[in-house]
């Protein structure tokens, strides 16, 4: 398919049966993943692991795009020495880049965060586009507690997301807009609903105010869940219904798709929740409902790999299994017995 316009790219990112692989872990985060398998986080090991993911046979049947970290974006495949943006494009996978500089303490608040990276972003986006990036990602972090989130934290993060998205579109790059409400805490699903609704209203107000074209973006939000330490955990049906209701109220139909983050859910829960949402909406979808998972796609693969070249085939099999199940969830055709 010829991806000429930003709308073409955005629609391809959420194509039926496909989702986005988030392989954009920072050096620190991938180091924690490697700690699980007692593997040193070196440049060579990080490249070997990303190569394992990207070179899996037929991964393009389930994965529309890959979000990369700057280091990965500039690395090459181990077979053929092809830069990863070109390597992925050759497989029919859209290359993307994480451009934020991480969440840092927001001055004047207790424990709230603001994402940094706007300084020099226009120049960085210009370079990434020349290197082959067709989309980018920026993550904002919102915390739920008895006092938080404050209106101040929501507004400043929404403004930064919109500024980033506007700069992306002016550089011919589709922005993934990721306002993540963390589900750490004892809050229940009703609290999650209220905060998610407020955050999304604020984000889309800022996007509109700053001239961002909704048709040329993809939303990457949290699902509406119970806090992970809540004594009463919502069922799959409750999560699916609450998430759909919240997004029907807040996300314009002009947005091509919603690619949910997994946000610490188990592999199976992330798949089951997405599947049930697609079943409930059936043919009445204002937008495509897909996935942009990191850990929920990779966890079984990294454990199967264990840092050993002998385990690459098994690790790729684990990745493909999870990718296929989530592909089925985008059309409501997943069932638990497939696990």
Distances (CA, A) of 38 to 32, 33, 138: 10, 9, 30
Distances (CA, A) of 44 to 71, 75, 242: 11, 10, 43
257 within some domain: yes
64 within some domain: no
Q: Which run of H or of E encompasses 22?
A: strand 19-23
The answer to whether 45 and 71 have CB atoms below 8 angstroms apart is no
153 within some domain: yes
55 within some domain: no
Domain of residue 121, CATH code: 3.20.20.70
Whether the model clears a pTM of 0.95, i.e. scores above it, the answer is: yes
90 within some domain: no
- Domain of 168, in residue numbers: 99-338
The answer to whether 147 and 195 have CB atoms below 8 angstroms apart is no
234 within some domain: yes
Q: Give start and end residues of each alpha helix (H) in the chain.
A: 6-13, 27-35, 43-54, 70-73, 84-90, 121-130, 151-170, 189-209, 236-250, 267-281, 295-305, 312-329
Catalytic residues: 178, 220
Task: Report the C-alpha gap between 176 and 138 in whole angstroms.
Answer: 7
Residue with tokens 């105010």: 209
147 within some domain: yes
176 within some domain: yes
Q: What is the pLDDT along the chain (339 residues), one digit of tens a residue?
A: 578 999 999 999 999 999 999 999 999 999 999 999 999 999 999 999 999 999 999 999 999 999 999 999 999 999 989 999 999 999 999 999 999 999 999 999 989 999 999 999 999 999 999 999 999 999 999 999 989 999 999 999 999 999 999 999 999 999 999 999 999 999 999 999 999 999 999 999 999 999 999 999 999 999 999 999 999 999 999 999 999 999 999 999 999 999 999 998 999 999 999 999 999 998 788 999 999 999 999 999 999 999 999 999 999 999 999 999 999 999 999 999 999
Total tally of structural domains belonging to the chain: 1
């Amino acid at each position: 398919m010829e991806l000429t316009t930003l709308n073409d790219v955005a629609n391809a990112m959420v194509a039926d049966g496909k989702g986005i692989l988030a392989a954009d872990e920072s050096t620190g985060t991938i180091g924690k993943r490697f700690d699980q398998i007692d593997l040193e986080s070196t440049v060579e090991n990080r490249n070997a692991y990303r190569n394992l993911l990207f070179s899996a046979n037929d991964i393009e049947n389930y994965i529309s795009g890959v979000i990369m970290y700057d280091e990965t974006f500039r690395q090459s495949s181990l077979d053929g020495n092809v830069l990863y943006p070109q390597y992925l494009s050759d497989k029919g996978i859209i290359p993307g880049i994480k451009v934020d500089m991480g969440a840092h303490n927001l001055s004047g608040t207790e424990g709230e965060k603001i994402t940094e990276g706007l300084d020099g972003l226009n120049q960085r986006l210009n370079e990434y586009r020349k290197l082959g990036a067709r989309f980018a990602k920026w993550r904002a972090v919102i915390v739920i507690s008895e006092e938080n989130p404050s209106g101040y934290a929501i507004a400043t993060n929404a403004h930064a997301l919109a500024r980033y998205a506007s700069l992306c579109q002016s550089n011919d790059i589709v922005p993934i807009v990721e306002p993540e409400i963390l589900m750490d805490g004892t809050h229940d699903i009703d609290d999650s609903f209220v905060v998610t609704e407020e955050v999304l209203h604020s984000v889309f107000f800022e996007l509109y105010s700053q001239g961002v074209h909704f048709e040329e973006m993809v939303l990457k939000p949290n699902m509406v869940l119970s806090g992970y330490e809540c004594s009463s955990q919502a069922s799959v049906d409750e999560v699916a219904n609450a998430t759909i209701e919240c997004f029907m109220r807040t996300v314009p139909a002009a947005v091509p798709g919603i690619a949910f983050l997994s946000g610490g859910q188990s592999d199976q829960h992330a798949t089951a929740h997405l599947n049930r949402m697609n079943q409930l909406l059936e043919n009445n979808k204002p937008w495509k409902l897909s996935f942009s998972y990191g850990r929920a796609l990779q966890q079984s693969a990294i454990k199967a790999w264990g840092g050993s070249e002998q385990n690459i085939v098994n690790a790729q099999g684990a990745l493909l299994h999870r990718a296929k199940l989530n592909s089925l969830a985008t059309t409501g055709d997943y069932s638990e017995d497939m696990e």
